[in-house]
Chains A and B, each alone.
Chain A
């Protein structure tokens, strides 16, 4: 009965252990003092709410490592330009890297079709099953797509998450790195309003820079806000339209691939 008092998280020192029950050596207490045998109504739990997602993400990570594949989770608000930027990046990477895509969308195969047109295999996950339609990919959804990609034959899996600045950041899916695509049409204050997403990114592509002359966007203010929230994030200025920065994003993907695990033939 080890699930009781699973202290999986180091930060649970606030625990109120204020109920009365016997912590003696009675055999029934060993490994399970859940506290209800004597009519006590309190049951201590102390479990991470997203623990099941974390366990599935670890299983994904294990499978990716065994296949020797690097995995990048790409996140942004809707319309920031993830798909267009990825199409440009894939044109530069596919001559020498074997890429597969897991495409998350609430509905439609539109983005999946655009990416497939670059010649890469795409596993689409529409999240609109269940009620409401999920606003993010979780580790289980990503796992459900893995048997549709030949991981052993790939160097890089790109997960294009559902366009959303809040929810995807909360769900580890087993990735090696996170790329966030931010478009300058979204406003300078976004890192302060959506800190979880901006904090979770390893690199932020500041996209649609071709629009700078047409907007009142204050790039320095944005970069200062980003630095407040995530001092360690790398920043790349990009425009899928003019090609600015696309080589730099492609080089970042190559660097992530270079750090991947060596395939384990027994895995």
Chain B
């Protein structure tokens, strides 16, 4: 298991136990957080035909975390993404990456 996934599972487990939230409630929060990406990357990270940016569903969590960090640090150039990536915490990025990595099946 890669590091970012371990982080995510740790974060989710901590959230679930601390708030005594049902798994469904945890999933709801993750999906709602991922929905903040959907205006440009598509609902549940599935790219729309004619869209100009890549879909996120099914991409490896490590890759997603790396790219977000690269946008944050300036290592990867971009137009809006370097500006938006800076708005998300490490824990949020891990949660997003884990959500999208589970792929389209996660939304069913």
Q: Do A and B come from one complex?
A: no
B residues near A (Cβ < 8 Å) are none
